[in-house]
Structure 1
Amino acid sequence: MMSEELRVLEQLRASIDRYPRSSHPEEYATLQFNLGLALAESPHGEHGDNLKLAIQAYAEALEVFDERRYPLLRGRVLTALGAAERDLGLTRIARDRFQEATRVLHGLDSPAEIGSAFNNLGLAETDLANAEEAIAAFDLALDAFSDVRYERQRAATLINRGLARAAVGSESSLQAATDDYRKALDLVEPESAPYVYGLANHSLGVALLSLPGDRTSLLSDSIRALDASLSIFTKSSYPFQHALAKNNLAVAYEEIALGDLTSQRRALARLEEALMVFDPRVNAEQWREVNANFTRVLERLEAMTGHSNRLRHFVELLAALSAPERLDLLRFRMRTYLDLPEPHRAQNLEALDQAIIEFGNDSLPALTKDWLSILMEQPHEHLEAGLASRLAAQSEVDDQFSGPSAVALEKALGHLEIIQRMRVRDLLSAMGHERPEPG
């Protein structure tokens, strides 16, 4: 079945055939422009090939949309053309397109087009490490986006200007960048502009990590901002941004309390979660940075505790957290393992279960209750896999651990609704599990 995106592309190409340039120049150029936009955004095929086809379509549109008769349309196409060229890495050429677009659009009553052209020019100048020119372009974009109708565009431009300022690296530039990010957050809500909201918070968190001053206060603010960004940058929706935010959050946790076990273990957990996302073959630079941070924190924890068992540190962290934070952290880890293909799923789940069981102490019932409640949220296949892994882990540990684990499982079952409890008992029984003797 043909996707909607492919259907649109097919319809545009068919329309271009029906409206040739010789007899319908305006319709032809408009269709070529729309074809270029659709190709640039298409999820099908090679992105680079699609961009090259988009550039060809934009060039066809520009043959018709000359500056004298169609200044607005020409400026719009030039901005789109520059965006495609910038995406291909042709940054200097793209900059020239954006500069031409701003010149063509000058004096027109079209703030959206003017603001977009200057914003894209600022991005190109940022790519070229021309911070001063980038900031000047963003200033002009913000002037264009001054109307209340353009609050989302204004917020995005404020973030871009903040990133250009932060790249300068001076204290005053970093402070100005944080001001831009906060202004952006004043303009958007997570429901109406989720990506802009997430990016503003992430950018703010990163800038605060670098600012000199009261480090405890700055790091606390950074942690809050990065946590807010993760409410948008989830692993499923924005994996790359999610992993970046987890790495930066770990850096904040590491520094805020170097001698505190819980803070260091929080850092380790976030770094491990980032490593689960970054592929060293695709994200080599990011993976190396996160892995270096992970190794450093794990070595510090070994010096503090005498062991470097990452799963044991994870369970010790769970035991030290409040119930809501513990549940969220365990849920993320379990879902990550449950999504793995076999045999990796079973291996990781069993290793986690064994670490929980062998940790023991008074936290075992609460951890087991959370573990079971998370499994009950999952599809049947994952519930079965989770229960099987717990039983496999119980069979591998010493009796001093397996007995208390079985009792903790029984107590956790008691917290379920009766229908859920019967369902889980049937599954456990089919797996050969025997209920522990009371007392």
Structure 2
Amino acid sequence: MGHTPTAADLRNRLVNAILHDVPLTAGVERAMRTVPREAFLPGISLEQAYADQAVSIKDNPLGGPLPLSCASVPSVVAMMLTQLQVRPGDRILEIGAGTGYNAALLAQLTGDHGHVTSIDIDPDAALHARTMLDRSGHQHVHVMQRDGLTGAPENAPYDRILAAVGLWDVPAAWWDQLREGGRLVLPLRWRGQTCSVALTRHRDTLISEGMELCGFVPVIGQDGEKTTTLNTGDTIRLVHDEDQTVDAAALGHSLADTSGIEALSEQRIGGEESFDGVWLRATATDDRVCRLHVLPDALTRQLLLRPALPVRSPALVDGSTLAYLTVHRENLDPKRPHRLGAAAYGPHAHKLAHDLITHIEAWGQNRTAVPRLTITPAPSPTTASQGHVISKPESRLTLAY
């Protein structure tokens, strides 16, 4: 008769699997092995609680594709906690209470002499987190129901701020709440993609010390990221920033009335190899970068050439011309059988496809490189030598390789 795995067995198995792919600090590993995730997810099985996947705890009342609140993917939680570099005794602010599990991990990391404040805009999420933290013996964690964009100044200043929701901009209110030398980790969205960025405060500048691709439920209250449909069936969409001009009618006309062209790069990838670095590399020099989202019906009807990833492919938009990343399987290199390319539609299709190929080749020169990101409050001065600037209402991002 086989042994039925206990919660501890499943917890250790999950952490072992995470360690295979994600380097963790000893403190984060210990916290992940200690805090029972199932205690924060009542009503689901132990197997579900210890699968490396997100668990929705409240659906979006507006019917959107993303839940209003969820328990994040455990490997992403572990990665972000490692980025945060919590020390014993730290004062911590968490934006997005979720289930309360993250706050329990943070309390474990900061110890008896630290302090954790966790806030959530949704009253049901805040109540759930408070209840689960009380039941699991974490009564000392401070949970508040409030808009995360305002922070929690009454418990500031903080040594660490962790956002467990996707941010499009860095709120001005957070600057006065983070200590000099303190660290902010947040899933930051720009040009249609999201990276978990670790930033250290140096007076009026946040300087990155690493970034990892991730995806998160967006924070409520920031609407600088837009979605524009390009066809009558709403099956071809562009996700872009508010400072980018997108002519939906002109692009829709190009897709419907012009033949797509395709160009191939010299870059090949393996079956499990990520090419998201192409996207990141392009955002550091090019303001035309956005995200293409194609629904299955558009592919079935062959309304356009197949993108690399239909739900999220990097794209360039220039007036009535659209170019986006493609992937083709070849048999020239068994280790890297897939070749990256660019499909394009519109009057300047060849030019825009070439521009995207240039970004692909630049990424291919150093595939693991990430840009240095500096963030300053807006408005703030800029100089031409700093790098590529993306201005947002409350902050200014500067990217440089």
TM-score (norm: length of structure 2) = 0.28
Larger Rg: 1
Structure with a larger share of its residues in strand: 2
Task: Write 1 or 2 for the structure with the bigger share of helix.
Answer: 1
